[in-house]
Amino acid sequence: MAASPTPPAWNRETDPFVELISAEAITRRVAELGARITADYAELGAGEDVVVLGVLKGSVIFMADLVRHIALPLTLDFIGVASYGDATVSSGVVQITQDLTRPIEHKHVLVVEDIVDTGHTVHYLMENLATRKPASIKLCSLLHKPERAERQVHIDYLGFTIPNKFVVGYGLDVAQRYRNLPFIGHVAQP
C-alpha cells in the first residue's frame, strides 16, 4: 500500500511567525553548551552520575539534542510544572503537575529549561529541588528574556538572550502548537 504523504505541521510561508534563531545557530550553540557541561562535570568520581532533569514540555527537544553532546555518564528524568496565568502574563503561582520518578538526594542535578521569562517557574523549581538535598544543582536554559525578569535567577548555561517577544519552535509552543519547528521564531503581529 502506498504511503500517503504526511502534511507538514507548519508552513514557513503562511504561518504567522518570523525566524529569530536558525536551526543551524541552535545546533552550533547546543554543541558548545554540551562541551562546556562535559568539561565542567568531568571531575566527578565514579558512581557520581549527573541527573539531567527536563522541565516538561518545552525543554524536551533541546534536552534531546543537548544530552547527545554531553560525553559523561548521566541519567534522565522529567518534571512537569504549570505556571498559572495566560501565555504572556505569568501570575507567579507555580505548581508541580508531574514529579520526578527517582529521588535526587546526593545526585548532581542539571535542570534543563526552554526559557527563563519572568523567572517565577525556575525560581520555584530550584527552591523545591534544593529541599531534596541534591549534591549540586545547576540550571541550563536555552533562552532568556532579561527584559521580563521579575525574579533574579542564576543561569549556569545559557543558549541565547532574546528580546521581549513571544517565541515558538524547538520545543516552545503557543497553545501547544509549533513545538516541532526546527528553528525559533517569534509570533508576528497580525
Nearer to ligand IMP, 25 or 31 (CB): 25
Residue 77 falls in the annotated catalytic set: no
CB of 144 to ligand IMP, least distance (A): 9
Query: Does residue 109 contact residue 53 with C-beta atoms inside 8 Å?
Result: yes
Minimum distance of ligand IMP from residue 105's CB (angstroms): 25
Shortest Cβ 65–ligand IMP spacing (Å): 18
Given 77, 86, 114, 117, the catalytic residue = 117
- Could you give the count of Cα atoms lying within 13 Å of 116 in the half-sphere of its Cβ? 28
Q: Which residues bind ligand IMP (CB under 6 A)?
A: 58, 83, 90, 113-122, 166-168, 172
- Residue 60 has, within 13 A of its CA and on its CB side, a CA count of 13
Helical pair 23-40 and 60-67, crossing angle rounded to 10 deg = 60
Q: Which is nearer to ligand IMP, 42 or 89 (CB)?
A: 89
Grid cell listed for 153: 535567577
- What residues are labeled active site? 117
